[in-house]
Structure 1
Amino acid sequence: MTMERPGVLEGAVAPVENSKLFGHREAEAFLAQSYRSGKGHHAILIEGPEGIGKATLAFRFANHVLSHPEPAEAPEHLGDPDPASLVTRQLASGASHNLLHLARPVDEKTGRAKGAITVDEVRRAGKFFGQTSGTGNWRIVIIDPADDLNRNAANAILKILEEPPRRSLFLVLTHAPGKLLPTIRSRCLPLRLKPLEPEPMRLALAHLGFDLTGPNAEGIIAAASGSVSEALKLINYGGLDIAAAFEDVLAGQGPAVRKQVHKLADILSAKDSETIYDFFSSLFMGRVMRLAREAAIAGDIGRAERFATLSGSLTERLTLSEAYNLDRKQTILSLLDDLKDAL
């Protein structure tokens, strides 16, 4: 039975419950063989864009390790989790004493995830390792993602990574490794996952029950950029319409486009619009960065610097807007005005 999990997109399966992984066979083989050799690293930094399977891979590997606690006796490949096994059932229900999943905690008042993984959450890892394992099995911590660690939490994790307990394993997920403390990165073995190719994308979406054979299929695959979560936002959250409206706003001029801007801002600032607002923020920042990159390639250094500076400014304003709960519609209007001015 699938549990309701905060933060899981409509149509998605929580990574801990996902029985299939598509498009990352080399990474799976590396983890299985590294573990079986008995020389695996105690901390693995799983890098890559959001929504491509990093968390699913982490839970899949954790299941493998906990199911085969002696490396030399483990299979050479990661298999699909056995839904009937005790390990799989304990992981799916959150009842495993050998795995700790650190993510942004849910605010009990709002039901939404808080803005960061705090030091209080990391202290749970200290208690986790302080408990005696009745089975003598591995202790695994999944940090999902480490990008969400605030400064104090990151420093607390660093202390544990510097002196890891015996038979401990850290699976550290990151969408943007450059944002992590260099000292955390230096203590982890990097494992880079690439965005999914079109065929693994189709298989992953088919596994979730989506048959991409309609007129929008190719557009969804292209716009999702190898991310299953982005595809779900396009399919289930009106992402295709938002992307089209965004293009119309950028291309338009005069009073008519002003109405389009306000309509788009109203949709993105409506109640319960968190997912589509995050989608738009990523779409927006991706466009600015692409404009900077294209200008640099064309040799227009002045234009490239202008968009690069704008990117930094916009990122800061989005962060402040969320941190101080500023009026979201005004933030969106301001961002669109600045981008149109820069264009």
Structure 2
Amino acid sequence: MSEERAGLLDGAIAPVSNVKLFGHEAAEEFLARSYRSGKGHHAVLIEGPEGIGKATLAFRFANHILRHPEPASAPETLSDPDPDHPVTRQLASGASHNLLHLHRPVDEKTGRVRSAITVDEVRKAGHFFSQTSGTGNWRIVIIDPADDLNRNAANAILKILEEPPKRAMFLVLSHAPGKLLPTIRSRCLPLRLHELSPEAMDKALGQLGLSIPADRREAVLALAKGSVARALKLVNYGGADILDAFDQMLAASGPSQRKMMFKIAEALSGKDSDVAFGFFTEHLGDHLAATARQLALEGDLGGAEHFARLSSTINQQLGIAAAYNLDRKQTMLDVLGAIVR
């Protein structure tokens, strides 16, 4: 499996190969006009929830730039990449000398995607810019996402952003820009993308051919929150069933509640359950935060503080379990036990 395919969700199209983008027409128009003006920023921070098309937009814009290296003669709109165009083929095959895609690498020993983008990956950008482009074209770096940069890697990227080479473009993706170094954010032009509308979701899921049972479609789309990635996790990774079990656990008590706890823990500890586990722990964090906010609004400050502390404790517990590779089933039973206690 190539590194571009590693970590790609089942049923998804790799952003570099995706020639369709739905729901972000205003952002596309802004990027095209900004580039054509010749006054575009050398670093754009494309931010928004996971799975809404940020990486697809970045590759789409990169394709546009490399096909039209002179801004003044570039079209005012981004068009669907032509699959037969040499630039599109080079990007899709990873053979382009004008684009570098920085993302979490695959561990050669385990074959699994690493937990962070390391400084060794960022050093590739220094080597990338040190080479002279045979075409005199732009050099584009896509950081996907910058949230995955560890501290040393983030500082290394910052140094390049502070003194960018000529005809260099950085497309910095982020699911949570508040977690980035303020100095990185300050050197980028922010471009906020929002959750997909129902119409855009229908088109995007239709392109993927995602089959959702008619009796569950409305519920799945509501839970997806305008994110294609969430929809894929709900349907192709059992996410919807896990969330149903979680709701049943919260509503139950005694042996029935314990049964649902074991059901969830077993589903999240099986082989190839990493995606489902990450999906559920994210949902868990959202659930605890929402519960704390609701209790605060109702005037129950003690209850709000309890859930806020519980969220912090569980995050620490999950971090320790991951660091020491502790038994995932027991970890999840402990976490769920703390919630219902």
Which TM-score bucket, shorter chain as reference?
over 0.9
Unaligned runs of 5+ in 1: none
1:207-234 Cα offsets, whole Å, 9 max, x none, are 1112557111111110101110110111
Question: Partner of 2:129 in structure 1?
Answer: 129
Question: Partner of 1:219 in structure 2?
Answer: 219
| Residue identity opposite 1:251 in structure 2 | A
Secondary structure of 2:215 counterpart:
coil
| Residue identity opposite 2:256 in structure 1 | A
Report how far residue 3 of structure 1 moved.
10
Matches within 5 A, 1:60-209: 60-209=60-209
Matches within 5 A, 1:19-34: 19-34=19-34
Question: Partner of 2:265 in structure 1?
Answer: 265
Count residues with an aligned counterpart. 340
Are 1:147 and 1:176, in contact at CA under 8 Å, matched by a contact in 2?
yes
Confirm or deny that 1:237 pairs with 2:228: no
Distance 1:313 1:154 in 2: 27
Secondary structure of 1:22 counterpart:
coil
Are 1:55 and 1:173, in contact at CA under 8 Å, matched by a contact in 2?
yes
Are 2:3 and 2:106, in contact at CA under 8 Å, matched by a contact in 1?
no
Are 2:3 and 2:105, in contact at CA under 8 Å, matched by a contact in 1?
no
Are 2:321 and 2:328, in contact at CA under 8 Å, matched by a contact in 1?
yes
Distance 2:177 2:259 in 1: 39
Secondary structure of 1:170 counterpart:
strand
Question: Partner of 1:286 in structure 2?
Answer: 286
Worse-superposed segment, 331-340 or 40-49: 331-340
Distance 1:226 1:276 in 2: 18
Secondary structure of 1:320 counterpart:
helix
| Residue identity opposite 1:205 in structure 2 | L
Report how far residue 315 of structure 1 moved.
2.3
Matches within 5 A, 1:300-319: 300-319=300-319
Identical counterparts, % of pairs: 66
Report how far residue 266 of structure 1 moved.
1.1
Are 1:15 and 1:55, in contact at CA under 8 Å, matched by a contact in 2?
yes
1:219-259 Cα offsets, whole Å, 9 max, x none, are 11101011101101111111111110011111111122112
Q: Which runs of 4+ in 1 moved over 3 A?
A: none
| Residue identity opposite 2:121 in structure 1 | E
Unaligned runs of 5+ in 2: none
Q: TM-score by structure 2 length? A: 0.96
Distance 1:211 1:275 in 2: 19
Secondary structure of 2:172 counterpart:
strand
Are 1:139 and 1:167, in contact at CA under 8 Å, matched by a contact in 2?
yes
Quick one: structure 1 residues 176 and 97, their matched pair in 2 at CA, closer, same or farther if it must change by over 3 Å?
same
Worse-superposed segment, 212-221 or 19-28: 212-221
